[in-house]
Amino acid sequence: MDRSEWGERGGLSAMARPRVCVVGSANVDLVFSAPRQPLPGESVSGTAFGMFIGGKGANQAVAAARAGAHVDFVGRLGSDAFGNDVAGALEQEGISLKHVTRDTQEGTGVAGVVVEPDGTNAIIVVPRANGRLSDKDVQRARGAISAAGLLLLQLEVSLDATLAAARVARRAGVTVVLNPAPARELPDALLQLADVITPNETETRVLTGIDAGTPEGARAAAQALRQRGVGTVLLTLGDRGALLLPPDGNALEVPSFPVRVVDTTAAGDAFCGALGVAMAEGRPMEEAARFACAAGALACTVMGAGPSLPPRLEIERLLAPAP
C-alpha cells in the first residue's frame, strides 16, 4: 500500500480519532542520493533524485494523520507552485489547512537533502515563508490549538510563534510536546511550557552540554533537562531506541526495532507524530514511546520524508508479538 494514500487504514473511525494540532514549518524537499557528501569545492555524481513534501511541521502533521489523528496544521506557505504542491499533499492526507496563511512576499520553504548509501543525511534548509509565521498567525488559530488533545511544536518557525502557541495550549490545558529541532539553545520560558520534550543526541548536547552517547550520559542529560523545568524527557537515541524520564524521576530505556536503513530523513518526525497520537489517545507514556519508536524505525526503510511516514497499520504490525 502506498503510504501517500489516506484512508481508514488504522481502523479508527473519524469520530474516534484524537485531535492533534501542529504549529510549524512546511517545505519542498529536494533529495539527492550520493555515494558520500561532497567536500568543499567538490562535485560528486549522484545516483538518484526526488522531490518530496517536507518541513518538520508538515512531516509531523502527516505522521500524526497517518497514525490515526485528526490534524489541524498552523503554518505559512508561499503563493507559489511549491505552496500549491504542499497544500495539495496535506489536504490529500486529510489535514485541515484552515489556519495556513499564503504569503505573497516570500516563497514556500525549501530544503536540499544529500543521502548517503547507509541512510546518513545532511540537510540545508531555507525557511522563506516559514520564517514569517507570527504571533498574530498563532492567535488567529487559538481555537484549533485549544480544541486539540495535544500540540506538537518544533523550531523551524520563529521562537515568538512557538512560544505563543505553547502559551495558548497551556492556558487551554492542552498537552505540549516540543521537538527541539533543529538544534539551538532555548530559553527556560519555552522549556517550562513543554509537557514532553523529544531531543535527539545532537539537540540534547546543545541544550545541556552533555553527551548522550552513553547510557550514563543520556540519563545525566535527561536529568539536566528536567531541572530546567521540562515535564517529561524522551531522548531519541537512534538505533538505541529512546530514554524516557517522567516527572517521578525513574528513567526507562525504550528499545528500538532492527530495520534495514535506507534513509533516516524524517525518522524523528515520524517518531514525534506517532508519539502525539498515542498520547492524545491517552496511552501511558511507556506505551506511547514504544509506538513512536516503531514509527521512527519504519520511516528509516523508505527514501524521502513524506513517503517514509508510516500508516497506523504498519506501526501496529511491527509492534505485534511474533506468532
The residues that are catalytic are 269
Is 217 known to sit in a ligand binding site?
A: no
Asked whether residue 237 is marked as a ligand-binding residue, the answer is yes
Dihedral pair phi/psi, residue 319, rounded to 5°: -80, -20
Query: Would the annotation count 302 as a binding residue?
Result: yes
**200 carries a ligand binding annotation:** yes
Q: Is 43 annotated as a binding residue?
A: no
| Residue 268 marked as a ligand binder | yes
Does 250 count as an annotated binding residue?
no
Would you tell me how many other CB atoms lie within 10 Å of the CB of residue 318?
16
- Parallel, antiparallel or unpaired: strands 232-236 and 196-197: parallel
The C-alpha angle with vertex 133 and arms to 132 and 138, in degrees rounded to 5, equals 155
User: Could you tell me if 314 and 299 are in contact, meaning their C-beta atoms sit under 8 angstroms apart?
Assistant: no
Contacts of 43 by beta carbon, 8 Å cutoff, 6+ apart = none
- 241 annotated as a binding-site residue: yes
Closest-CA residue to 23 (of 179, 184, 138, 143): 138
179 assigned ligand-binding residue: no
For residue 133, the one-letter residue type is L
Q: Is the peptide bond preceding residue 307 cis, with omega within 30 degrees of 0? A: no
Asked if residue 144 lies in contact with residue 99, where contact means CB atoms within 8 angstroms, the answer is yes
CA dist., res. 89 & res. 4, Å (int):
8
Could you give the residue ranges of the DSSP H alpha helices within the chain? 56-66, 81-92, 135-140, 142-147, 159-172, 188-191, 201-208, 215-227, 267-280, 285-299, 305-308, 312-319
Return the C-alpha cell found at 229.
523545568
243 annotated to a ligand binding site: no
Residue ranges for the known binding site for K(+) are: 263, 265, 299, 302, 304, 308
Residue ranges for the known binding site are: 27-29, 55-59, 156, 200, 236-241, 263, 265, 268-269, 299, 302, 304, 308
Residue ranges for the known binding site for substrate are: 27-29, 55-59, 156, 269
Residue ranges for the known binding site for ATP are: 200, 236-241, 268-269
